[in-house]
Structure 1
Amino acid sequence: MKGFFSEFREFISRGNVMDMAVGVIIGGAFTAIVNSLVGDIIQPLISGLTGGGEQIGLVVNVGAAQLNFGAFISAIINFIIIAFIIFCLVKSMNKLAEEAKKIAGKQEEAEEAAAPICPHCLEEVKAGATRCPHCGGEIPGGAKSAA
């Protein structure tokens, strides 16, 4: 039993579990914002355009039961808004990741294109130089770039 709890503690302390917990909390707060957007702004606009009351009033009575199509439509609108915003966030995060990779690639290219180094004094020399301007040492075959 002790091994089970230590394994559970290790699982909980992993970074990705903590990230997931933060995501769930942020998602809950975000849901409240989207629900307000749908309930307080979009539904009244749709109701105003369709001539309904304050909410989408599509209710059908079937015997003693009520089928509330207005609530269902609200849930669909809510889902579409959340999905669209998540799509935009993921797309922008992917674009940022691509830009970061491009910048990292350019830095690597700049490091690769660095000037050659003298084998005697380890100072930078011009490519093709046969003598080091710093120490005067001969560079056999001429200095070659570090790439």
Structure 2
Amino acid sequence: MSSQNNQSNWDRARASWMASSERAKGAWTGFKEFIFRESVLEVAVGLIISQAFTRIVNSLVSDMISPFIALLPFFDRNLPQKFLVLRPGPLGRDAYNTIQQAEEDGAITMAYGRFIDTCLNFFAVGLVLYGLARFYAFVTKDSIIKHSTKCQYCRKEISEKALKCGFCCSWLDGREDHETSALAPPAPTQ
């Protein structure tokens, strides 16, 4: 009886192992199909390129633009280090040389220099991307920048090339001005 019991335990363990390995193979196959789809690879490449592009623009702002801003009379030092102390920390120090000292003391600060630096980064990225889009349009004769207009009926922004509004479903070429239904009486002929 004991050998038969051992055999049935082995059979159940083998069946469980086989079912688990089939589930793992199915999961692996699904994962491979998901990862190697064309759109996922395009997104991955786009994210990697955008990360490198962000580093370049950050360097442009911090190494090329910020030094000129620091020449202005009210920016007498490194722009990201400019801050105001709104309330001193519990140690009650009167002055802080850096924002890190103020934060370590628990002071409440307004880091307006970091904010200005971040805004400069944003505008630099926007300008560079706009320039790249214009260059792409010049080289390929295909515009990335899509011009829009407002629908004359619902006033929503739609593509300049649209024939029908995607919001209110109105035709933009004048079809709404006369009845085109099969139930409508025929238009008078002249």
The TM-score normalised by the length of structure 2 is 0.46
| Counterpart residue number, 1:136 | none
Q: In structure 1, how many angstroms separate the alpha carbons of the residues matched to 2:31 and 2:73?
A: 54
Deviation at 1:37, TM superposition (A): 1.2
Q: How many residues align?
A: 99
Structure 1 range deviating more: 15-24 or 63-72: 15-24
Aligned with residue 63 of structure 2, among 40, 64, 76: 40
Superposition misfits of 4+ residues, deviation over 6 angstroms: none
Query: Which stretches in structure 1 are left out of the alignment for 5+ residues?
Result: 100-147
Q: In structure 2, how many angstroms separate the alpha carbons of the residues matched to 1:85 and 1:29?
A: 14
Identity of aligned residues (%): 33
| Counterpart residue number, 1:120 | none
Q: How does 1:1-147 map to 2 (within 5 A)?
A: 1-2=23-24, 3-56=26-79, 58-63=82-87, 64-98=107-141
Deviation at 1:51, TM superposition (A): 4.4
Deviation at 1:10, TM superposition (A): 1.0
Deviation at 1:94, TM superposition (A): 3.7
Query: Which stretches in structure 2 are left out of the alignment for 5+ residues?
Result: 1-22, 88-106, 143-190
Deviation at 1:90, TM superposition (A): 2.4
Q: In structure 2, how many angstroms separate the alpha carbons of the residues matched to 1:11 and 1:65?
A: 47
Q: In structure 2, how many angstroms separate the alpha carbons of the residues matched to 1:84 and 1:52?
A: 24
Instruction: Give the root-mean-square deviation of aligned CA atoms.
Output: 2.1
Deviation at 1:95, TM superposition (A): 4.1
Q: 1:46 to 1:96 in 2, by over 3 A?
A: same
Structure 1 range deviating more: 84-93 or 42-51: 84-93
